[in-house]
Every structure is written in structure tokens, then in C-alpha cells.
Amino acid sequence: MINKLSITYQDAGVNIENSSTLIQRIKKIVKKTNMPEIISQIGGFNSLCELPKNYTEPVLVATTDGVGTKLRLANYTKNYENIGIDLVAMCVNDIIVCGAKPLFFLDYYSTSKLDVEIATSVINSIVKGCTISDCALIGGETAEIPGIYTNQDYDMAGFCIGVVEKSKIIDGKKIQENDMLIALSSSGPHSNGYSLIHKILETNQINPLISKLNEKPLIDYLIEPTRIYVKNILKLTEKFDIKGIVHITGGGFVENIPRILPNNTQAVIIDSTWTWPPIFQWIQKQGNIKKREMYHIFNCGVGIIVIANQIEANEIISFMKKINEKSWIIGTIKKSNSKERVIFIK
């Protein structure tokens, strides 16, 4: 039988010194994310949150995600200050694509043997992500599972609940021919494609702590946290009639864009409209990866795609510039019966 010791934020009574220390730290840390709707305190068996009062027909939106093998780089560099931001970002960015506001976040942290300092750093970074997202960290679980993990290995999962007015749900159903695709820039690979990145590093015997890219340590590109788009997307949806939003995650452009396209439509991406950031050029060269495959795995510099009427497209870009969001028209929607839902042209 696996010797599992579960330490939950809700259960402060577990008789173990490390868990008690961590729980006390967590109680102080999570106060930074408190909001009026949270009506319970850390330490109970569950967490309670009221729905905001300014909704007529509130619809709850749920998502869960992780950060995959990017965790290996956090362990390798002993840099735990960003990985929690990645975890929050992967969840809240999925929440906002339907126009919802993230309400609260929970995390699951499992390891072979609890290191309070590492766990505290990770929780602190989760709090940073929640603060950027305007959502509350209301609880979670930390588990010691020595039969599964070894040394200081650990894994994380995140869970987020958001809310959207039923009449304002963005689901892609209104997308039609000649609508414009507007790209919002990414900060790097975000949290996708890292198994391939690790393979490239190992195959080419590249030490990311030593190697440089454009006079900057390679590791800085690789551990750059995932961008959180919550505040700017919510500002955008308040002002414009947005028909669809795509979060470019695992599966890249090829798998994510079709998820919101109506039948008999196709997204045409004009890849001459932007230059890939240096890290993606490096990945393609070092891995000898074809462009189509890059678009199937990575975001290639595009974290979010917004779809709107062509009449509003330029106004949207001007608005995004005012709120310091880099955006550009990346393509258009056309009618098509092709099984190829996304095509790339120059």
C-alpha cells in the first residue's frame, strides 16, 4: 500500500509539524486574494463563495489544468516564483474565453516529502497569479506520496470557477464569413510544448543555464511565466461585441481554433503578419521542426485570438493599444467545407 499522507488547507488538525507550519503560512498568504464574496475561512472542510450580486442569470464556468513538464525547469533552476503563475494562468485563461470572470481558485500540490520552503514559494506564486486575475485562492490540498514521487519532485493541478451573465456568453455561434481574427501576444511557450523542449535540450546537450539567446540566458525565455489575459479581455468584452475567443494552448493553432468555429467555416491565418519571438525561432532551428508542426504544438507568439466583426477590428486594436495590450489582425474567417479547419498563408 502506498504510504500517503494528505495535508489539506481545510484540515489544520493533521498531526505533522511540516503541515502545521505550511498551513499557518498559507492562512497569511491567501488573505491577499480575499474578496467580499468569500464567506468562509481556511481551516474548514470546504470553502464557501457567494455569487456576485450584479448578475441577472449567472452561469458558473469551471476549468482545471496543470503546467506539465515545465515543472522540471522549476526544479532544475530551483526557481519556484513563476510556476504558480503558470498554473493559475492556464486555468483563468480558459475561463475568460467565454466572457466569464474568474471567481476563485483551488490547487492540488503533491510531492514525495513536503519541503515547507519550496511549498511556500509555490503557494506565493499561485497567490501572485490569483492577484493578477482578480480571483481568490480559497483552498486546496497538499499530499505526500513517496511511493509515486522521489526526491523533491512534485506535481500541481489547478481548479478555477468563474461566472458569466447567461446572455453574454461567448461561444463562437455568431462567427461568420469575413470576421477578423485578432491576435494578442504571448510571453513565450507559456506552459505547452515542454516535453519537446526538454528533448531538444537533451538531444543537443544544451545547458539552458549557460546557453544564451540574443545575449540573454536561454533559461529566462523558458521559465517566463504564462501571460494572464483576464483584466484586458474583460475590458474588451465590456466594450465590444466579441464573437469568439481562443486560448492557444496544447495543440497550438491547429487544434484550438476549430473548437469554437461553426460548421462550414475555416480560419485563414496570415503568418506574414508577425515575426515569431526569438525562442520559437530557436526551438524550430534546434529541433529541425517544420513550420506546420510548430503551429500544431506551440503558440508561436500568440497567446489569445479574438474574433470580431471586421468593422470593429481596427477599433479593437486601437483600444487594446490604449490599455498596453499588443494586438494585430492575424487572419480572417471564410466559408469552407474542408476538413482542414485552419490554413496558413503568407
pLDDT band for position 43 (cuts 50, 70, 90)? low
Residues 202 and 311 in one domain: yes
From 22-26, 77-81, 145-149, 184-188, the region with the lowest mean pLDDT:
22-26
Q: What is the pLDDT of residues 223-233, one digit of tens each?
A: 999 999 999 99
Count CB neighbours of 343 within 10 A.
Answer: 14
Query: How far is residue 234 CA from its own chain's centroid?
Result: 16
Residues 134 and 57 reside in one and the same domain:
yes
Of 168, 199, 224, which one is at a domain's C-terminal end?
Answer: 168
- The residues, ordered by sequence, that sit 6+ positions from 98 with a Cβ below 8 Å of its Cβ are 61, 164, 169, 170, 171, 245
Answer whether residue 311 shows pLDDT above 50. yes
In a domain, 20, yes or no: yes
With cut-offs at 50, 70 and 90, classify the pLDDT of residue 14: very low
The pLDDT value recorded for residue 207 is 96
CATH no. for residue 212? Answer: 3.90.650.10
Q: Which domain holds residue 27?
A: 5-168
Beta bridge partners of 107: 140, 158
**Claim to verify: residue 184 and residue 164 sit in the same structural domain:** no
Is 188 within the bounds of a domain?
yes
pTM listed for this prediction? 0.91
Cβ distance 313 to 256 under 8 Å?
no
pLDDT category at 15 given cuts 50, 70, 90 is very low
Determine the pLDDT at residue 17: 62
Pair (154, 270) in one structural domain: no
Considering the domain architecture, whether residues 298 and 340 belong to the same structural domain is answered as yes
Please check the confidence at residue 92 and state whether its pLDDT lies above 80.
yes
Residue 86 in any domain: the answer is yes
* Residue-wise pLDDT tens digits, 152-164: 788 999 999 999 9
Per DSSP, what are the bridge partners of residue 110?
143, 155
State which of 168, 192, 220 marks the end of a domain.
Answer: 168
In a shared domain, residues 145 and 261: no
Q: Look at residue 175 and tell me if it is in a domain.
A: no
Residue type, 48: L
The predicted-structure confidence for 95-149, as pLDDT tens digits, reads as follows 999 999 999 999 999 988 888 889 899 999 999 999 999 999 998 888 888 888 8
- Cβ count near 3 (within 10 Å): 8
CATH of the domain at 64: 3.30.1330.10
Shared domain for 153 and 200, answered yes or no, is no
**Residues 65 and 132 grouped into a single domain:** yes
Strands 212-213 and 265-270: unpaired
Number of domains in the chain: 2
Same domain flag for 186 and 332:
yes
